[in-house]
Chains A and B, each alone.
Chain A
Amino acid sequence: MSPRMNAARAPRVTPAVTGSPTEQELINSLGWLIRMRWCAAAAVLVGTAITAHVVHLPVPERSAYLVGVAIIAYNVLFQLALGRLDLLGPRVPLACQRFARVQIALDWLAMAVLIALTGGIESPAIVFFLFHIAIASLLLPHDREFLQVALAPILVAGIAWLEARGILHHTSLVDPPRYNNPLYVAEVLVVFTCASYVMAYLAMSISRRLRRREAELAGLYESVRATTSTLELSAVLDRLAKATARVLGCRGAAIRLLDSTGRQLVAAASHGVSEEFVSAVLELSRSSIDREALLENKALFIDALADPRIVYPEANRREGIRTVLVAPLVGKTGSIGVLRAYGGEGHQFTRDDANFLLAVAAQGVIAIENAQAYEMLARLDRDKSQFIRTVTHELRSPVQVSQKLLALLEEGYVGQLTPEQGELVTRARRRIEFLQTLVDDLLDLAAGKAGLQPRGERQEVDLQVVVHDVCARFAAAAHSKGLQLRVEAAEGGVAVVGDAGDIDRMLNNLVANAIRYTPQGNVVVRLAREDHLARMTVTDTGIGIPADALPHLFEEFFRAPNAKAVAEHGTGLGLAIVKGLVERYGGTIAVDSEQGRGTTFVVRLPISGATANAAGGAAVTG
């Protein structure tokens, strides 16, 4: 329903970069006029030839051809001048105006000469003068228009007088001649004058209407651009109010939005009116004007002082408001509020204004709804992060402190425990330890699923450093199991962009698994560069993964049957977390394993500066 501007049409009406639309329009029109003039010149030449040789009237051929040639000559000059003007651009508005006047003046002169050559007051060519009058009305500003129009009958009257006095030669095209009959001359002049003014009036009305449409379209385009260039709700509302007032050329505008109960209209934005004038909250039940506008979905014209529906005309009087135009704001889900335009002393809103206001309201609602949707999404995101942060703290604290209290018992700080007591305490502490790991893992997983931004700032992470850090962390654990933990890192730096903590986590879980499920032998961590990818490999000589478990390996809470035999308690989340992280970084993870022989995990991540294709995933081989 609302007029949709498509980008291809916009440039023609846009005021955007340089001057007002009328300047660009003027240049376009002048170009058109010059093109038309070629036809006119041709018509003069051909018309003269036909009149002389076909109709056999005594028209002064040579002089007429001369006029035609003269028209061609000055049109060439105009064409060149137009080219230069186009380069200068609408930065010289006065030059455009002057250029237009010069063209029109020369045209009228040529017209006058032609009329003189073809019979003066008896000339049928007088009719063509009306076209020139129309052109002048369309192109020139209307300020001294009625004086300008008078020039035409004056010129013709002058020619008639000169011919009657014998000063100018009269070419007689009709028989008997009437040019010296004062009554005839007077009648023709009167008719011509009337026709001129009627033509001027018609042309000016059309021109005014066109200009107005242009201005409205430009204004609508401007307001669309202004309101849709931001998703921030308050900015959208402010711009909408401002655009409304500007485009309608009125004193001010205000927007009210319905609150969640649908019973109150809350002031949302205003422009051109004082703060006190726009009271914060309006009861819909008390404002029949707004109710009517919303119910009937149309614009209302209100006399701000006399309309009986106005509750406080005094407020309007004090503010200087005399007329109000009210339009409903109706969106996808129903009415969301009202848009009001305020006119000051002497301002009258027209039907065109009302239609235009409805158009502005329609597209304004779209912008408002978009901004509201965006705000809701932003809020949801904030709430999600807040929730996870709170849960993190609330879950961890009791678990951690329980562990500490049990550790006090276990380590003998409050006296020696009997072996039996010690055993029970140890078991309790181990379960709580597991609970802690589970909570940590679940929170990591939840954070990953929630798509939260990585905790740290995005920076260059040197993988060499991470690999060595992680291995150092597990050195003691490996040693106590009699395993060899080795690092083989390629020469040169390998870096990815992201959070060091995330990468650490990835590698941490893989190495922890490798050590946990390797009763003897070694664990090797390799880092290498593969084209635009960084490749991290964790290989162990552990229990391996049975073939039928491989497809489920990265599922949450999944533990392979042989894993449970080696380590009684495991969350089953470690690999799911790794996969989540790897995918978030746009990488891939693959596993190769044989039960009883060992396992190799391969993680590939795009190196900083390179972008892997978005679809990361887990591949399972062997």
Chain B
Amino acid sequence: MAKILMMDDDSDCVTSMRIPLESRGHEFFAAFSGEEGLALVKQIGPDLILLDVMMDTRTEGFHVSLRLRDRSPDSEFAAWRSVPILMLTSIHQTTRLRFGPDEDYLPVDALLEKSVPFDVILRKIEELLKGSERPAHA
């Protein structure tokens, strides 16, 4: 149903998400680094992005999300600013990261630990996809 792009440097993690998502009928794309992922965003225009926090560097996930959500009008990712981003982290015990559309906060829509059961992740994805059907705010 939807085009889902996952950015994660661990191919096993990618596999563990691809299988359930494709079984739900979604189209699944994978990128193994932030740079590759951003290039793919322009290429395929995903409906949702799954973003790993730690890839090549400890904060690569954050940097990708910051670039995607860049507010400046001439940002190259302006067209995809409203694509929902689900961040996946292996960091145990949520470190009180706040997230939301506000500039002070982390520019993602949701944050889940990788260790939660599949149905929780899948439910969250469906939720975010439904939410993005609303007209996007500027």
Chain A positions near chain B (C-beta within 8 angstroms): 392-393, 396-397, 400-405, 407-408, 411, 413-414, 436, 440, 443, 455-456, 500-501, 504-505
Contact = CB atoms under 8 A, between A and B. Distances in A.
A342 to B, nearest CB: 47
Contact of A414 (B19, B91, B92): B19
B43 interface: no
B13 A401 contact: yes
A566 B19 CA distance: 36
A393 B12 contact: no
B19 A397 contact: no
Interface string B1-33: 000000000101101100110010000000000
A397 B90 contact: yes
A580 to B, nearest CB: 15
Given A401-B10, A411-B118, A501 B96 contact: yes
Contacts of A456: 95-96
A505 to B, nearest CB: 7
B115 interface: yes
A505 B95 CA distance: 12
A414 B114 CA distance: 20
Is chain A's interface secondary structure helix, strand, loop, or mixed overall? helix
Q: Is the interface on chain B under 10, 10 to 19, 20 to 34, or 35 or more residues?
A: 10 to 19
17 contacts: A392-B92, A400-B114, A401-B13, A401-B16, A404-B12, A404-B16, A404-B118, A405-B12, A405-B15, A408-B16, A408-B20, A413-B19, A413-B23, A440-B92, A455-B95, A456-B95, A456-B96
Contacts of A397: 10, 90
Main secondary structure of the interface of B (DSSP, over half): loop
A404 B19 CA distance: 11
Contacts of A504: 93
Contacts of A401: 10, 12-13, 16, 114
Given A413-B19, A413-B23, A414-B19, A404 B114 contact: yes
Contact of A393 (B13, B19, B90): B90
Q: Which of A402, A404, A455 has the most CB of B within 10 A?
A: A404
Interface centre among B13, B16, B19, B91 (most CB of A within 10 A): B16
B73 interface: no
B64 interface: no
B108 interface: no
Contact of B92 (A396, A404, A405): A396
A501 B115 contact: no
A401 B115 CA distance: 8
Given A407-B117, A408-B118, A413-B19, 19 more contacts: A392-B91, A393-B90, A397-B10, A400-B114, A402-B12, A404-B13, A404-B16, A404-B118, A405-B12, A405-B16, A407-B118, A408-B16, A408-B19, A411-B118, A436-B115, A440-B92, A443-B92, A455-B95, A501-B93
The 8 closest A-B pairs by CB, nearest first: A404-B16, A401-B12, A413-B19, A396-B90, A400-B115, A400-B114, A401-B13, A408-B19
B68 interface: no
Contacts of A392: 91-92
Contact of B95 (A404, A436, A443, A501): A501
B48 interface: no
Contacts of B10: 397, 401
B20 to A, nearest CB: 5
A455 B94 CA distance: 11
Contacts of A411: 118
Interface string B77-117: 00000000000001111011000000000000000001101
A401 B16 CA distance: 8
B50 interface: no
Contacts of A500: 96
B54 interface: yes
A456 B93 CA distance: 11
Contacts of B20: 408, 413
Contacts of B96: 456, 500-501
Contact of A403 (B15, B91, B93, B115): B115
B39 to A, nearest CB: 25
A402 B15 CA distance: 11
A404 B14 CA distance: 10
A543 to B, nearest CB: 28
Nearest to A443: B92
Interface in B32-71: 54
Contacts of A400: 90, 114-115
A58 B16 CA distance: 126
A456 B97 CA distance: 10
A140 B20 CA distance: 97
Contacts of A403: 115
B121 to A, nearest CB: 10
A393 B19 CA distance: 24
B136 to A, nearest CB: 32
Nearest to B54: A393
A95 B95 CA distance: 67
Contacts of B93: 501, 504-505
Nearest to A499: B96
A562 B16 CA distance: 38
B124 to A, nearest CB: 15
A361 B93 CA distance: 52
A396 B90 CA distance: 7
A396 B91 CA distance: 8
The winner among B15, B23, B93, B117 for most chain A CB atoms within 10 A is: B93
A406 B19 CA distance: 12
Nearest to A455: B95
A455 B16 CA distance: 30
Nearest to B94: A501
Contacts of B117: 407
B116 to A, nearest CB: 10
Contacts of A407: 16, 117-118
A402 B13 CA distance: 9
A414 to B, nearest CB: 6
Contacts of A393: 54, 90
A410 to B, nearest CB: 10
B54 to A, nearest CB: 6
Contacts of A505: 93
Nearest to B92: A440
Contacts of A404: 12-13, 16, 114, 118
Contacts of B23: 413
A393 B118 CA distance: 21
Contacts of B114: 400-401, 404
A504 B54 CA distance: 25
Nearest to A508: B93
